[in-house]
Structure 1
Amino acid sequence: MTGSAVFLINVLSTWYMVGVIWTVQLVHYKLFNRIGSEQFVGYEKAHCNAMSFVVIPAMLPELASSIWLAFATPTGLSNWAMSIGLVAVILIWVSTFALQVPCHQRLTCQFTETDYRRLVGTNWIRTVLWSFRGMLTAYGLLQLIGDPL
């Protein structure tokens, strides 16, 4: 696989996740407290199962391509930008498994306002990081196409 193909995978998977994370942050999570406590546990379990099929096919290639790009940066791309992009991906994964997954796990047993607020609040970490990654990939695209003006 060429470096250009790996970068394309990185750009596509990152921007896919930018769209997903903003939708989750502004739509899905904002509506969680409107489900009702009696139906919430079943809804949360279904949400977690369904979202796995949405995010895993993008998060894994994003991680793999970020590692590749940081250690074998293709000509025309900034190594520092690709390295910072990898750090951002690692922070996203750490946030996911240290903060959001535990909230989801507790919420699959019982809705609590504390876990709900913690989930929505800490998810801003991933929202900001994925948005930043999107900007980094846009910067990389500009590097590859040069100055179009």
Structure 2
Amino acid sequence: MITCALAGLVWTVQVAVYPLFDRVGVDAFKAWHAAYTTCIGWVVGPMMLAELGSGAWLLWTGRRDTSFLISLALLAVVWLSTALVQVPLHQRLSNGFDASTHQHLVRSNWLRTAAWTLRGICLLFCL
């Protein structure tokens, strides 16, 4: 299940990757962050698109149980948070490390972590 893989990935990023951004060093951060965002984009992008596509397909084919509909709302939270919060914060960090932006990224990403985790739980109820 793609959602469970993304939930595991977001927990890894939330607990082990984002908190360590401040350990990279100011001089190396821009290059490191550019490499990180490229690499993570190749992993997360196709998975998020597949998750969105499978959700849309299930909705189109008539899936309407409560757990599934809640999972779609959580998917919307993930996409909105990604587009409106995390991507702009990463764009700011692409100019160089900023402690305030870094802290905002770590704090705000808890919303996506919770949403993907709860979405995975909802979808397990659908099985």
What TM-score results when the alignment is normalised by the length of structure 1? Answer: 0.81
Counterpart of 1:69 in structure 2 is 58
The separation in 2 between residues aligned to 1:69 and 1:32, in whole angstroms, is 38
Tell whether the 8 Å contact from 1:29 to 1:120 is kept in structure 2 after alignment.
yes
| Equivalent residue, structure 1, for 2:5 | 16
Aligned to 2:20: 31
Indicate yes or no: 2:73 matched with 1:87. Answer: yes
Amino acid at match of 1:114: S
**Post-superposition shift, 1:25?**
0.3
Correspondence for 1:9: none
> In the alignment, residue 134 of structure 1 is paired with which amino acid?
G
**Contact persistence 1:70–1:79 (CA under 8 A):** no
- Measure, in 1, the Cα distance between the counterparts of 2:69 and 2:114: 17
Once superposed, which parts of structure 1, at least 4 consecutive aligned residues long, lie more than 2 Å away? 68-74
- When Rg is computed on C-alpha atoms for both structures, the one with the higher figure is 1
TM-aligned CA deviation for residue 73 of structure 1? 3.6
Question: Displacement of 1:68 after TM fit?
Answer: 2.3
Higher RCO (CA < 8 A, seq sep 6+): 2
Where structure 2 has 5 or more consecutive residues not aligned to the other structure, the ranges are none
Structure 1 unpaired stretches of 5+: 1-11, 142-149
The equivalent position to 2:124 in structure 1, one of 122, 130, 138, is 138
- Name the Cα RMSD after superposition: 1.2
Tell me the equivalent position of 1:113: 99
Task: State the aligned residue count.
Answer: 127
Describe the superposition over 1:36-78 as per-residue Cα deviations: whole angstroms up to 9, x where unpaired.
Answer: 111111111100000011101210011111122234345xxx5
Match of 1:49 among 26, 34, 38: 38
TM-score if structure 2 supplies the norm length? 0.94
Superposition deviation, residue 82 in structure 1: 1.4
Partners in 2 of 1:91 and 1:72 — Cα distance? 22
Render the CA deviation track for 1:101-146: whole Å, top value 9, x for unaligned: 01100101011111000100000000000000110111112xxxxx
Pick from 80, 85, 101 the counterpart of residue 99 of structure 1. Answer: 85
